[in-house]
Amino acid sequence: MKPDLVSIIIPTFKRPSYLSRAILSALNQTYQNIEVLVIDDNDPVSIYRKETESLMFDFENNAKIKYIKHPKNLNGSAARNTGIKNSKGDFLAFLDDDDVFLPTKIEKQYNRLKHLNEDWGACYCFYSIYYNNKVQKYYDIEEEGDLTESILLMENPVASGSTLFIRKEVAVEFGGYNVSYQRHQDWEFLLRVLTKYKICQVKENLVNIYLESRINKLEPRFLVGTKLKFLNEFSNIINNLPKSAIIYKNHYLELANSFAERGYIMEGIGYLRKAHIKNSLVFLNYYNFLYHYVFYNIYYPLKHFFKRS
């Protein structure tokens, strides 16, 4: 019997210089019954669209690849949904255009999820984060089943889009990704999935994530809107969890540090207060907050000034 088809969906936006690396990592899988859908979310008149089109000519004779161009820039969630809609596979994997699948990624996740019953809707794996071609962090948290609390606590790497492997019928059942989110779209999608299904794990590093090309860091005032929308959407779940107070604290601390990075010290302090930090955590979190402020607004600009001098 022929193995199931797996659809690998690669949304791309403003990163044509990295895209070829991602595509090749998808094509070079040990599991070969795959299709690769490249969803071009660049504006049609932009240089990025032209460069992406030029790059895709190198793959035009590869029957495994389907290249789909959006008529206008939408967003990453919409691009993933376009991939889901146009996919033919029984299983889906998502790959950010600047990340890399290791060769056995699809094979090992397919074998893990395929042999579990349908209570298990998706699978994730460990991954490494690279910056300047050096490993900065390795995520190897061992957890599977109901990951709701750990995702809300921002403790679990399952929310990295490039680690996810999911049954297509599950993705379709929940309507894919919420296009109204500019941030936390992975969390939002998975938390909906987790209301019905469990998520399993392959306890191996199967993805390399590269940070130097990341372009989707929201300005903190926009992040506030997305963050509060996210917390409100899942407030009924959060408020019934034992660690609900810690969940809110962690999210407010992220907002505080985001404001600090941009130099908005008073707004940042406001979110530190909303986090209700007490006792021995006070110094630690204020220290972290001030580190973000000093590094991004004093040290980093001075370093670049003297390098130019």
Length of the chain measured in residues = 309
Q: Which residue has the higher pLDDT, 40 or 256?
A: 40
Mean pLDDT of 260-270: 73
Q: Residue 164: which residues within 8 A CB-CB, separation 6 or more?
A: 93, 94, 122, 123, 124, 158, 186, 190
Exposed / middle / buried, residue 236 (Cβ in 10 Å: 0-12, 13-18, 19+): exposed
Q: Write down the pTM of the prediction.
A: 0.86
CA distances from 111 to 57, 77, 163, 201 (A): 33, 27, 15, 11
What's residue 261's pLDDT?
Answer: 72
* 8 has a pLDDT exceeding 80: yes
What's residue 213's pLDDT?
Answer: 60
* 306 has a pLDDT exceeding 70: no
* 163 has a pLDDT exceeding 80: yes
Q: Which residue has the higher pLDDT, 294 or 192?
A: 192
* 216 has a pLDDT exceeding 90: no
Over the stretch 37-72, which tens digit does the pLDDT of each residue have? Answer: 999 999 999 999 999 999 999 999 999 999 999 999
Over the stretch 78-110, which tens digit does the pLDDT of each residue have? Answer: 999 999 999 999 999 999 999 999 999 999 999
Most confident of 53-62, 206-215, 255-264, 277-286: 53-62
Residue 284 banded pLDDT, cuts 50, 70, 90? very low
Mean pLDDT of 126-137: 86
What's residue 281's pLDDT?
Answer: 45
DSSP 253-294: HHHHHHHHHTT-HHHHHHHHHHTT--TTHHHHHHHHHHHHHH
Any idea what the Cα angle at residue 223 is, between residues 230 and 266, rounded to 5°?
Answer: 120
* 292 has a pLDDT exceeding 80: no
DSSP single-letter state for residue 145: B
> Are 234 and 94 in contact, with CB atoms under 8 Å apart?
no
CATH 3.90.550.10 in the chain, residue ranges: 6-210
Mean pLDDT of 14-19: 94
Nearest to 198 by CA among 89, 90, 302, 122: 122
Over the stretch 271-282, which tens digit does the pLDDT of each residue have? Answer: 777 777 553 344
* CATH class as words, domain 6-210: alpha beta
